[in-house]
Amino acid sequence: DTEVTQTPKHLVMGMTNKKSLKCEQHMGHRAMYWYKQKAKKPPELMFVYSYEKLSINESVPSRFSPECPNSSLLNLHLHALQPEDSALYLCASSQSGDYGYTFGSGTRLTVV
Amino acid sequence: DAKTTQPPSMDCAEGRAANLPCNHSTISGNEYVYWYRQIHSQGPQYIIHGLKNNETNEMASLIITEDRKSSTLILPHATLRDTAVYYCIAAPNTDKLIFGTGTRLQVFP
């Protein structure tokens, strides 16, 4: 299995809702990442997990809460989001050292 | 991580080589050059990376100048499916990759 699987592919949520994005990989990669991408902009790094521990938080608002239950799974819990949080949320994983990332196809989130 | 500069857009005829430049004049000795591309509405795709030597794989070739201040990604025979945004990133490892604005490559028939 050489893929990163993200679910759901599309999500519409209200500003008072709580929802979660899920990311899964079975390549034995030790690092997993969340990126946010607005339309016509490059992906922006949000969080990095290394060996299931949060190693980088790029000053992301607390309404985004990451979780890494095990080495294959990464969640992003969403609560009280704003319409400007609407974006494509991308998950990626990588092996150690100098190998490239494998990205999922993303979850397109719309906050109404 | 070193800043990279890429042209915002380029065109290439189908079947011709696409040469995408990247400037990274402040790159450190331990920083690799990574190339990714993002086809519309998909996640970015890793293409190739290198440190000093030129590299080639099934997707592309990477030419790094001797002073390492710039590099060129070469797609030898561009197809319509190569239309994408191409990102050049300089980083010491994959612990944290920061994407710049990239080059939008349009391959035309």
Are the Cβ atoms of A106 and B42 closer than 8 angstroms? yes
Q: In angstroms, rounded to a whole number, what is the distance separating the alpha carbons of residues A77 and B46? A: 27
Provide the 3-class DSSP secondary structure of residue B47: strand
Residue B2 has pLDDT above 80, yes or no: no
Are the Cβ atoms of B43 and A104 closer than 8 angstroms? yes
Residue B62 near residue B50, CB atoms below 8 Å: yes
In tens digits, what is the pLDDT along chain A, a chain of 112 residues?
779 999 999 999 999 999 999 999 999 999 999 999 999 999 999 999 999 999 999 999 999 999 999 999 999 999 999 999 999 999 999 986 657 899 999 999 999 9
Cis peptide, bond prior to residue A8, ω within 30 of zero: yes
B103 min Cα distance to partner chain A (Å): 11
For an interface test with B, give the residue of A101, A105, A107 to mutate (most B CBs within 10 A): A101
Q: In angstroms, rounded to a whole number, what is the distance separating the alpha carbons of residues A39 and A51? A: 31
Long-range contacts of B84-87 (CB under 8 A, 24+ apart): B84/B37, B84/B38, B84/B39, B84/B40, B85/A42, B85/B37, B85/B38, B86/B6, B86/B20, B86/B35, B86/B36, B86/B37, B86/B47, B87/A42, B87/B6, B87/B35, B87/B36, B87/B37, B87/B38, B87/B44
Residue A46 near residue A64, CB atoms below 8 Å: yes
Which DSSP letter does residue A84 get?
A: G
Residue B77 has pLDDT above 70, yes or no: yes
B17 min Cα distance to partner chain A (Å): 24
Are the Cβ atoms of A31 and B101 closer than 8 angstroms? no
pLDDT in tens, B4-56: 999 999 999 999 999 999 999 999 999 999 999 999 889 999 999 999 989 99
* Mean pLDDT on B79-96: 93
Q: Quick one: pLDDT at residue A97?
A: 61
Nearest residue, CB atoms, B94 vs list A43, A98, A106? A98
Q: pLDDT over 90 for what percent of chain B? A: 87
Tokens standing for residue A5: 């699987």
Tokens standing for residue B48: 């190739």
Chain A contacts in chain B segment 54-83 (CB below 8 A): none
Q: Could you tell me where the beta strands, DSSP code E, fall in A1-112?
A: 4-7, 10-13, 18-25, 31-37, 44-50, 53-57, 64-70, 73-79, 87-94, 102-103, 107-111
Q: Quick one: pLDDT at residue A85?
A: 97
